[in-house]
Amino acid sequence: MTLSGTGAPASSLSFDFRPARTSDGATLWRLVQATGTLELNSPYLYLLMATDFGDTCLLARYQGQPAGAVIGYRSPREPEAAFVWQVGVLPAYRGQGLGLQMLEAWHQLPANRDARWITATVDPDNRASRALFGALARRLCAPLAVQPHFTPDLFPVDHPAEPLLRIGPIPRDEPGHPR
Ligand SMILES: CC(C)(COP(=O)(O)OP(=O)(O)OC[C@H]1O[C@@H](n2cnc3c(N)ncnc32)[C@H](O)[C@@H]1OP(=O)(O)O)[C@@H](O)C(=O)NCCC(=O)NCCS
């Protein structure tokens, strides 16, 4: 099974968003594969994320079909932060606001909405991803900073640096944020 989308403009479409469950593990794997640029990990890892971290993962669907996803978790080492591990939108729906909608919906999930920080590692060459997180920071009225994190020497294979992008502190009066 491959994932391709409808070809209709995302801005005119109505998506539903929900947390992931075990049965979404295979879909998350297929979605990541279909993005074409995200690093594809093992099917087992997506199954694990959908099962043990499903409350901090978001699946976006159009008419019941997958359109995009955010895969994340709350690190026990930084309880006030929600970490975005992978975010992807199927090519047919890109550039029309779905990525930003998904991240906002992901931040508002019950398991994430108390997070004062949103973190992610982002390839500096990934312009779309940088722009997406920049748009999220503006939407949340929060500063965005980038700091060194995973340097190439930490990887067992050739791999570009993965700096850490930090959005926050997220103001508590942000709509959708608990008072
Ligand atoms: C990154 C990605 C999720 C963005 O999704 P999207 O639905 O296209 O993003 P949106 O339409 O919500 O756009 C959000 C912002 O990013 C900008 N943007 C989107 N695609 C862009 C591109 N290719 N180049 C530059 N800016 C881009 C938009 O202009 C918007 O910024 P603005 O509000 O300042 O105008 C999508 O391109 C994707 O799935 N890419 C492949 C996977 C990937 O690289 N994921 C990120 C790494 S974890």
Ligand 1 pocket: which of 94, 123, 138, 165 to mutate (most atoms within 8 A of CB): 94
> How do residues 64-87 score in pLDDT, each as one tens digit?
999 999 999 999 999 999 999 999
Q: How far does the centroid of ligand 1 lie from the alpha carbon of residue 128, in Å?
A: 4
Q: How far does the centroid of ligand 1 lie from the alpha carbon of residue 47, in Å?
A: 25
Tell me if 43 CB under 6 Å of ligand 1.
Answer: no
Count CA atoms closer than 13 A to 87's CA, side-chain side.
30
Q: How far does the centroid of ligand 1 lie from the alpha carbon of residue 89, in Å?
A: 8
Q: What is the pTM of this model?
A: 0.93
DSSP-assigned beta bridge partners for residue 19: 58
Closest-lying ligand 1 atom to the alpha carbon of residue 135: 33
> How do residues 150-166 score in pLDDT, each as one tens digit?
999 999 999 999 999 99
pLDDT over 70 for what percent of the chain? 90
Q: What is the DSSP letter of 72?
A: E
Give the per-residue pLDDT at 11. 63
- H helices present in the chain, as ranges: 25-35, 43-52, 98-107, 127-139
Query: What is the rounded average pLDDT of the residues 26-49?
Result: 97
Give the per-residue pLDDT at 172. 84
Q: How far does the centroid of ligand 1 lie from the alpha carbon of residue 179, in Å?
A: 30
Give the per-residue pLDDT at 179. 37
Query: What is the rounded average pLDDT of the residues 10-21?
Result: 86
Burial 105-127 (b: 16+ CB within 10 A, else e): bbbebebbeebbebbbbbeeeee
CA nearest ligand 1 atom 42, residue: 88
Beta carbons of 164 and 137 less than 8 angstroms apart: no
Give the per-residue pLDDT at 124. 86
Domains in the chain: ranges and CATH = 10-167 (3.40.630.30)
Tell me if 102 CB under 6 Å of ligand 1.
Answer: no
Give the per-residue pLDDT at 176. 52
Ligand 1 pocket: which of 89, 96, 126, 130 to mutate (most atoms within 8 A of CB): 89
